Amino acid sequence: MELKWINTVRWKFLISVLASLGITTALLYALYQLGFLLIRLPLFKNILRYIVNNYGSSVALYVVGPIMFLFLYYLLTRRTIQRLERVNNSLQQIITGNLDQEISSSSRDEIGLVTRSVNEMTSQLRTYLDEISSGVGKVASGQFEHRIQLEDNPLSEWSVVADSINRMAKQLDRSIQEERNAEKTKNDLITGVSHDLRTPLTSILGFLEVIENDRYQDEVELRHYISIAYEKSITRKKLVDDLFEYTRINNGMPLRMEELNLVAFLQQLAEEFVPSLEKVGMICRISTKVESLIIKGDGDLLARGFENLISNAIRYGHDGEYVDIDISCSNGEATIRIINYGEPIPQNDLQFIFERFYRGDRSRSSGGTGLGLAIVKSIMEVHKGSISAKSDRTQTMFEACLPIRLSDF
């Protein structure tokens, strides 16, 4: 049966002490007996007799004994001390960053346990560093989706470092994606504007060239060409105005914040559309359960946004008799629903109608710029609100939500 308690450093030192004492005693006894033999020899007789006569044999043994004990104790504990020195040297190497250290030890005492723990620690450190170094290398090469996994101990310092690197990679990935989206947005904007300006300008130039070269037949045809060029110019001017308004809103234009009574604000806005409504035989109805609903916002911008929504409701809902504006309040938000009962928006178009330059068949047929609803969305977002749309065979509804109290402007 193995006695594990013997395999400890304290017992090894105690055994070394006892062994040193035992061997010293045995050697002193042997020297004492050897002295009787050596004192008879002429070579040692004078020296030994001098020591015995002047100091005594006991004193000689007391002097030689401790020296012999210390020497033997040094020899017996030398191996253990050397093992401790190797562990210390390895730890010093680890401190300097050399993790390739591996201490060989087959003993089962505390030094052996420390040695194996140090070896395991350096092995784990190498694994962590290799994983982190590999992850950082992949992130540096552009693989921002890579994540460093250190699952052994999620609360360890290494896991904290790995988590910080992962969050850095995620943030870099997000920033690069935002930069790419911004670049794509800019390119799409340029492409959209170029497309919407090029064809009409070519047509306008064509009519002006006919007029410039006197290739018209009479004054009636001349006025007809001028009228077409003028109408196309007005349409392109509206596109430029919408584009300017859209970029101005999205580039962080300062807001002129003021308190607005949303109910009175929309009632006044609806009255301004009475001539347009009467022209197509429609009526605007406003329904609300609150007499006053105060919000903070930029009146000019909000007017522009709701004008676009009401204009769309009239343009695309003239087959119905009404444009309904419903105003309500819940959960700290004002909700404005603008409803028309005309032709529904196709479901394929519904999810894209707030994008820049997106125009369904109806928009193209009515000469829209494709920026009206994008401007509405931007206006709502700079007011920390939102806009959505629903459409079916019975009605088309645009729902705008605005916080009743706005802050941090």
Q: DSSP states of 191-219 as a string?
A: HHHHHHHHHHHHHHHHHHHHHHTT--SSH
Tokens of 4: 């594990």
Higher pLDDT, 317 or 236: 317
CA distance 194 to 189: 8
pLDDT at 44 over 70: no
**C-alpha separations of 2 from 5, 6, 7, 108 in Å:** 9, 9, 9, 12
Task: Name the residue ranges covered by the structural domains of the chain.
Answer: 4-117, 150-253, 257-403
Tokens of 36: 């009787």
Higher pLDDT, 242 or 396: 396
CA distance 339 to 190: 33
pLDDT digits (tens, 9 = 90+) for 205-234: 887 888 888 887 888 888 888 888 888 788
Question: What is the arithmetic mean of pLDDT over 142-167?
Answer: 73
CA distance 124 to 129: 8
Out of 32-41, 224-233, 261-270, 360-369, give the one with best mean pLDDT.
Answer: 261-270
Higher pLDDT, 328 or 104: 328
**Average pLDDT score, the chain:** 78
CA distance 20 to 312: 106
- What's the CATH architecture for 150-253? Orthogonal Bundle (1.10)
pTM for the structure as a whole: 0.50
Task: Name the least confident of 74-88, 309-323, 351-365, 377-391.
Answer: 351-365
pLDDT at 339 over 90: yes
Question: What is the arithmetic mean of pLDDT over 150-171?
Answer: 74
pLDDT at 364 over 60: no
Which pLDDT score is estimated for 367? 46
Are 382 and 301 contacting, i.e. CB atoms less than 8 angstroms apart?
A: yes
- Find the helix or strand (DSSP H, E) in which 38 lies: helix 9-38
Give the DSSP letter string of 354-396.
Answer: TSTT---HHHHHHT--S-HHHHHHHHHHHTT-EEEEEE-SS-E
In CATH, what number does 257-403 get?
3.30.565.10
pLDDT at 47 over 70: no
Which pLDDT score is estimated for 356? 63
pLDDT at 92 over 60: yes
Per-residue burial over 233-267, b = 16 or more CB atoms within 10 Å of its CB, e = otherwise: eeebeebeebbebbeebbeeeebeeeebebbebbe
Please tell me what DSSP assigns to residue 261: E
pLDDT digits (tens, 9 = 90+) for 232-269: 788 777 777 766 766 666 666 677 888 989 999 999 99
Q: Where are the beta strands (DSSP E) in 72-214?
A: none
pLDDT at 194 over 60: yes
